Amino acid sequence: MRLKKPRLIVTFHTTTAAMGMEIACSRAGLPGRLIPVPREITAGCGMAWCAPPEAQADLEAFVTKENITTAGWYELTL
Amino acid sequence: MIYLDNAATTLKKPDCVVAAVTEALCNMGNSSRGTHDSSLKSARAVFAARSSLAKLFNAPGPEQVVFTQNSTEALNMALCGLFCKGDHVITTALEHNSVLRPLYRLEDEGVISLSVVPADRQGRPDYDAFSRLIRPETRAIVCTHASNLTGNVMDLERVGAIAKSHGLLLVVDASQTAGAYPIDMKRMNISVLCFTGHKGLMGPQGTGGMCLARDVRIRPFKVGGSGVQSYSRAHPAEMPTRLEAGTLNGHGIAGLGAGVDYILEKGVDAIHAYEIALAKHFYEGVRDIPGVTVYGDFTNWNRTAVVTLNIGDYDSGAVSDALWEDFGIATRPGAHCAPLMHHALGTAEQGAVRFSFALFNTLDEADAAIAAVKELAQCD
Ligand SMILES: Cc1ncc(COP(=O)(O)O)c(C=O)c1O
């Protein structure tokens, strides 16, 4: 398997919110991509935003500005 | 891209399906709403699709084929429209949430009581439990034809015989088998067969339905426009209009009909044989890789073309993401909407990576998937 590194993971309550995050970030040129929710956060299904940890401040400010509802913010080594 | 997520939805559709949807979008009016040519075109396409589906499943006739948005809607309509207060229902640990959640809700509302046939570590149902769980107030057995997680197929002739001998309804979730595995409603004693259009039937998403045995009556959960009997206060009681209120997804159904005709022409047995050959090749290529655990019963190939596995203790989501990012292989990780099955297999926490093959996959793609699993397992 791949080499693990620290990643920022943002989760959402719905797929609609996750898609809203993807489109808004890509428009704003902010980093990250959608991945399956890691089991460290919740076993099951769904998608999460995965970005470099150094982008956290920018992303936090961005979701507040854009009114995107997030469920949780995590830093994990994945 | 190598698409191996066909149990979620088939990505590649036959050309005739694409052509039928395009033709429908350009030329079809509203089915059963007038007799001008555009309306009749739609009515004819819908009727043709009903007839083809009835033939594919050996259903009593086109009037017993009802269209819905998908199998989830069909299952909800069937389960909520069949049962009355006090009924006891038997289901299985193989089920998808589209069966479990409507049943749990009916149970929580105090309408039905529910018993679950358990499964072993290979995901095989305990067939003896069906008879054991029957009570005087048992009304129905509700079960899947195949597990979407393991690909194990339920022996429906056996379950149908049990249902028949006890006078029970048999409601079947054929989401994973319709178009990909032989189904015979009469031989299997199926009362209600729920199917989805976008998987093995190779139609568009937003299509699905159910076939009813002649004597089965379901309370409609929606009523409204039907194109007939407009001055009657009540929605028509005749099938299939009884269970179809509002404009049908004519454009989608035209595509679904083309998909079913394509399947009838190729033959379900031939399609199954092709898909299983790919799944078998993949299974034989991965089962002995150190660190790989494959789930399900592979003692025979009366199953669907699904091979589900994990690598070591890795999160199935991380494995699936690596397969996609590093190898361009599309699979499905995590929990597959089948919570009881995950518990039986012991994968509730880890989830599992599902590889599912279809008619447009090739042996080369199966080989590429084997190589990818090998490589990921090696750097474990
Ligand atoms: C066994 C099973 N039942 C039900 C469903 C639900 O199908 P749909 O989402 O098309 O309603 C699926 C699809 O994922 C399935 O695999």
CB spacing of A45 vs B337 below 8 angstroms: yes
Q: For residue B149, report the distance from its CA to the centre of ligand 1, in Å.
A: 11
Q: Is A38 near chain B, with CB under 8 Å?
A: yes
Q: What is the pLDDT of residue B282?
A: 98
| Complete DSSP assignment for A9-59 | EEE-SSHHHHHHHHHHHHHHT---EEEEPPTTT-SS--EEEEE-GGGHHHH
Reported as a pLDDT band with limits 50, 70 and 90, residue A45 is confident
Is the residue at B154 inside a domain? yes
Return the HEC string of B230-242: CCCCCCCCCCCHH
Q: Is A34 near chain B, with CB under 8 Å?
A: no
Reported as a pLDDT band with limits 50, 70 and 90, residue A14 is confident
* Range(s) of the domain holding residue B306: 2-11+267-373
The CATH number given to whatever domain includes residue B332 is: 3.90.1150.10
Q: What is the pLDDT of residue B222?
A: 93
Same domain, residue pair B298 and B195: no
| Number of Cβ pairs < 8 A linking chain A and chain B | 50
Q: Could you give the percent of chain A with pLDDT greater than 90?
A: 79
State which of B266, B282, B311 marks the end of a domain. B266
Is the residue at B261 inside a domain? yes
Q: Which CATH number fits domain A6-77: 3.40.50.720, 1.10.260.40, 1.10.287.3510, 3.30.70.120?
A: 3.30.70.120
Give pLDDT tens digits for B91-101.
999 999 999 99
Half-sphere exposure of residue B182, counting CA atoms within 13 Å on the CB side?
Answer: 11
Across the range A68-78, mean pLDDT stands at: 94
State which of B249, B266, B283 marks the end of a domain. B266
Give pLDDT tens digits for B273-295.
999 999 999 999 999 999 999 99
Same domain, residue pair B171 and B196: yes
Same domain, residue pair B252 and B275: no
pLDDT higher than 80, residue B234: yes
pLDDT higher than 90, residue B164: yes
Give pLDDT tens digits for B334-373.
999 999 999 999 999 999 999 999 999 999 999 999 999 9
Same domain, residue pair B117 and B72: yes
Same domain, residue pair B260 and B289: no
Task: Tell me what ipTM this predicted complex has.
Answer: 0.83
pLDDT higher than 90, residue B269: yes
The CATH number given to whatever domain includes residue B83 is: 3.40.640.10
Same domain, residue pair B240 and B277: no
DSSP B204: -
Q: B337: which chain A residues are within 8 Å (Cβ-Cβ)?
A: 45
Decide: B175 in ligand 1 pocket, CB within 6 A. yes
Across the range A17-29, mean pLDDT stands at: 93
Give pLDDT tens digits for B64-76.
999 999 999 999 9
Q: Which of A1, A2, A43 sits opposite B351 (nearest CB)?
A: A43
CB spacing of A44 vs B321 below 8 angstroms: no
pLDDT higher than 90, residue B35: no
Same domain, residue pair B251 and B283: no
Decide: B152 in ligand 1 pocket, CB within 6 A. no
Strands (E), B85-217: 87-92, 112-117, 138-144, 169-173, 192-196, 208-212
Q: What is the pLDDT of residue A46?
A: 87
Q: Could you give the percent of chain B with pLDDT greater than 70?
A: 100
Q: What is the pLDDT of residue B15?
A: 98
Instruction: Choose which residue among B72, B77, B304 to substitute to test ligand 1 binding: the one with the highest number of ligand atoms within 8 A of its C-beta.
Output: B72
Same domain, residue pair B257 and B167: yes
Reported as a pLDDT band with limits 50, 70 and 90, residue B380 is low
CB spacing of A45 vs B350 below 8 angstroms: no
Same domain, residue pair B198 and B245: yes
Residue B73 CA: nearest ligand 1 atom is: 11
Q: A38: which chain B residues are within 8 Å (Cβ-Cβ)?
A: 315, 317-318
Instruction: Choose which residue among B175, B195, B306 to substitute to test ligand 1 binding: the one with the highest number of ligand atoms within 8 A of its C-beta.
Output: B175
Across the range B288-313, mean pLDDT stands at: 97
Q: For residue B206, report the distance from its CA to the centre of ligand 1, in Å.
A: 12
State which of B214, B241, B266 marks the end of a domain. B266
pLDDT higher than 90, residue B34: no
Give pLDDT tens digits for B213-224.
999 999 999 999
B313: left (phi over 0), alpha (psi -120 to 50) or beta: alpha
- Structural domains of chain B, count: 2
